[in-house]
Amino acid sequence: WGKLGVETPKFIVESDATIVAPLIFAGRQRR
């Protein structure tokens, strides 16, 4: 995430977060 935050524009990170955040949350639950 650190890389994405630095390399990509903020609005892309925010729109991506709405999709990626739940995926990461689900991934953490699996572990």
Cα–Cα–Cα angle for 21, 22, 25, nearest 5°?
Answer: 90
Q: Check residue 8 and report its DSSP letter.
A: S
Q: What is the pLDDT of residue 23?
A: 80
Q: What is the pLDDT of residue 26?
A: 83
Q: What is the pLDDT of residue 29?
A: 81
Residues 6+ apart with CB under 8 A from 8: 16
Q: What is the pLDDT of residue 5?
A: 53
Q: What is the pLDDT of residue 19?
A: 78
What would the DSSP string read from start to end of 1-31? -HHHHHHS-HHHHHHHHHHHHHHHHHHHHH-
Residue 31 CA to residue 27 CA, distance in Å, equals 7
Q: What is the pLDDT of residue 10?
A: 61
Q: Check residue 21 and report its DSSP letter.
A: H
Q: How confident is the prediction along the chain (31 residues), in pLDDT tens digits per residue?
A: 555 556 656 666 666 777 777 788 888 887 7
The structural domains of the chain, with segments of one domain joined by +, span 1-31
